[in-house]
Structure 1
Amino acid sequence: MSDDSRTVPQEQLPSDDLHPPPMPVINMGHLNLDPATRARVVEDITKACRDLGYFQIINHGISQSVMDGAVEAASDFFKLPSETKEEFASDDLRRPVRYDTSSKDGISMSRAYLKHYAHPLGEWMQYWPENPPIYRECMGNFAIEVRRVALQLMEAILEGLGLGKDYQHEKFEQGLQLMSVNCYPKESEGDTAIGLAPHSDYGFLTILFTSCRGLEVVDRNSNSWKVVQPLPHALHVHVGDHMEVLSNGKIKTVVHRAVLNPEEARISMASINGFAMHEKVSCARELVNEQNPEKYNASSFNDFLDYLTSNLENKHRNFLESLRMQGA
């Protein structure tokens, strides 16, 4: 079980959909135009969150050079000798930087990953890898920019929920950012096609940049897997467990997985955004009433890590389910 997500039992998984509907694409630059245009974009974002739990964004303000630099830094890290990377290996889910692979046997290497905290950058960067030499600068630039985008999107979603864009503003500003940097090999004969098992992320929003195709999401309408076709210079956004809690179920988390690409190896960089480590997330009081009673218990990222640590062998009950109130 991953420390940024919760896995989904096999029997709950959808089928494959060979003809999925198109994915919403949001032009973020329109959020800064006149109030009427902003209101339409806010409505589009909220609808995508409510109906699907995912969308892509363009015109987000992150330069191609910053995105390319982060991919290069990630690629160079994963090309380092094993002994160099394994200096960051740990089973402690609370380590500020942690390297691992999806297999302990040294053979089925369908995913390697490096996870580290990124906000505030001045506090966490000292723990990041010093090799490759470009890693700290390039990944730091990307982390700062992608967090800015996450905060803009959160404001729009909170506005769309009727809470106002400044709702719990300080908690979001001071919140946690976890970077999950992943490397998936090119699919070859004998490989397992799944690079990362179906799961949902714990936080409010995950913003993902991927170097090529390989991400799939569950389309709720058809209960089938939908291939994410990355647009040039676009970022993928999906809703996490704590967004479902905050919205009291108005917005649902999205289940997703990674599959190996038969044409090339793939780098993905996910920015997972939440409240600070010990800050509890609860259902917004404004969204609780007699018709829509409170559905979830409050929890923090620290509670999530405690849950994972104590449920390593329990694959059939996920963190979000553990928060549901009886009868909800």
Structure 2
Amino acid sequence: MHGLARGVSEMDCLRDWPEPIVRVQSLSESGAEIIPARYVKPPAERPSVGPPGVTEACIPVVDLALLEDGADASSCDAATVKAIADACRGAGFFQAVNHGVSPGLLRRAREVWRGFFHLPMEEKQRYANLPNTYEGYGSRLGVDKGAILDWGDYYFLHFLPLCLINHQKLMNEYRETTDEYGEELTKLCRRILRALSMGLGLEADRLPEAFDEEGVCMRVNFYPKCPQPDLTLGLSAHSDPGGITILLVDDHVAGLQVRKDNSWITVRPLPDAFIVNVGDQIQVLSNATYKSVEHRVTVNAASERLSMAFFYNPRSDIPIGPIPELVSPARPALYQPMTYDQYRLFIRQRGPRGKKLVG
């Protein structure tokens, strides 16, 4: 976040997609045995590169049963706070169990959104998106012409500070379940953010102050079967630009990989657990005490895969920099202040490109 986004004009992100949009699901269902060249990753980025990993010993599991909310946040179980903080200092990811969101709601959320992606194409096309907000049904991130694309479709929507038009047009079944899911995950993110604040030795509300009038959004990812999964990715390597991400995935099929040193670790999801990670804004606010870690998504030939990435982000128009209490002569500020709006303009223009804005 060293000033790279400052020169990006907002017009770069308001134009239409640079090329006609092709739905990856349509390519998958065509029966073709060879994927188009625009989805073939350079050799160094292909999922077959590097040794495979085993995740149970590498991605911490944190029990959130004793993580209090609201006025009781300061009395959170010290061991839970420490477990969350330790995970975000090291792995940058953890699996959250006993998180308080009912398994029934998780099941309904996955069911209704899987149903969306299996609607007839003409119905889904009613929600086709543009790159200015990504709101709606999409198949690419970033607007660089000629870019190598990812093997996945998605539906992107906003909850806070307001829901945009496509979400309001959704059928009742999608809207009601999604609104309930969004309310529950917003509460969970607030609990986790307070714990992260205490894990830095700060008051519980110190980190949440940067998230006043927070931005809350979700991207439902659909990764169809791929005839050549060794050549492409469902989502290219990146770190999340925002604050906290809570990911709900299909329990029966793995796809998320997290970078650990020079290897990619495949996350084996626990039933009814969330996968939680901090984004670049938390790394900046914590002056790199907490780490936003690079990750990617693989695809496979045997199974489609659905994931629901819930993003809890800071207010977009206030400069974000290291919290003053975490800056000292021995540990100077590592980042210059920048608004989240400025930061994500750069991301929207280029799409996922590793972890280059914060080190």
Q: CA RMSD in A?
A: 3.1
Structure 2 residue aligned with 1:67: 106
Structure 2 residue aligned with 1:119: 160
Say which SS state the counterpart of residue 182 (structure 1) adopts: strand
Structure 2 residue aligned with 1:31: 67
Q: Is the 8 A contact 1:200 1:253 kept in 2?
A: yes
Q: Are the structure 2 counterparts of residues 187 and 279 from structure 1 closer, same or farther at C-alpha, using a change threshold of 3 Å?
A: same
Q: Is the 8 A contact 2:73 2:204 kept in 1?
A: no
Deviations 1:258-298 (A, max 9, x none): 11144421110011111122132210000000010011112
Residues 175-194 of structure 1: pairs in structure 2 closer than 5 A: 175-189=214-228, 192-194=231-233
Q: Is the 8 A contact 1:112 1:183 kept in 2?
A: yes
Whole-Å separation in 1 of the counterparts to 2:192 and 2:271: 20
* Length-normalised TM-score, structure 1: 0.83
Deviation at 1:134, TM superposition (A): 1.0
Q: Are the structure 2 counterparts of residues 34 and 304 from structure 1 closer, same or farther at C-alpha, using a change threshold of 3 Å?
A: closer
Deviation at 1:306, TM superposition (A): 2.7
- Aligned pair partner of 1:165 in 204, 218, 222: 204
Alignment of 1:281 onto 2:357: no
Q: Which has the higher contact order (CA 8 A, sep 6+)?
A: 2
Gaps of 5+ in 1: 4-8, 322-328
Say which SS state the counterpart of residue 160 (structure 2) adopts: coil
Q: Is the 8 A contact 2:238 2:352 kept in 1?
A: no
Whole-Å separation in 2 of the counterparts to 1:129 and 1:191: 38
Structure 2 residue aligned with 1:6: none
Deviation at 1:130, TM superposition (A): 3.8
Whole-Å separation in 2 of the counterparts to 1:245 and 1:225: 24
Whole-Å separation in 1 of the counterparts to 2:156 and 2:352: 23
Structure 2 residue aligned with 1:92: 131
Whole-Å separation in 2 of the counterparts to 1:164 and 1:86: 47
Q: Is the 8 A contact 1:113 1:183 kept in 2?
A: yes
Q: Are the structure 2 counterparts of residues 24 and 315 from structure 1 closer, same or farther at C-alpha, using a change threshold of 3 Å?
A: closer
Structure 2 residue aligned with 1:320: 358
More strand by proportion, 1 or 2? Answer: 1
Q: Are the structure 2 counterparts of residues 19 and 183 from structure 1 closer, same or farther at C-alpha, using a change threshold of 3 Å?
A: closer
Deviations 1:288-324 (A, max 9, x none): 0001001111222311233245x53995884436xxx
What amino acid does structure 1 have at the position aligned with 2:61? V
Say which SS state the counterpart of residue 279 (structure 1) adopts: coil
Whole-Å separation in 2 of the counterparts to 1:115 and 1:81: 19
Aligned residue pairs: how many? 306
Whole-Å separation in 1 of the counterparts to 2:73 and 2:139: 47
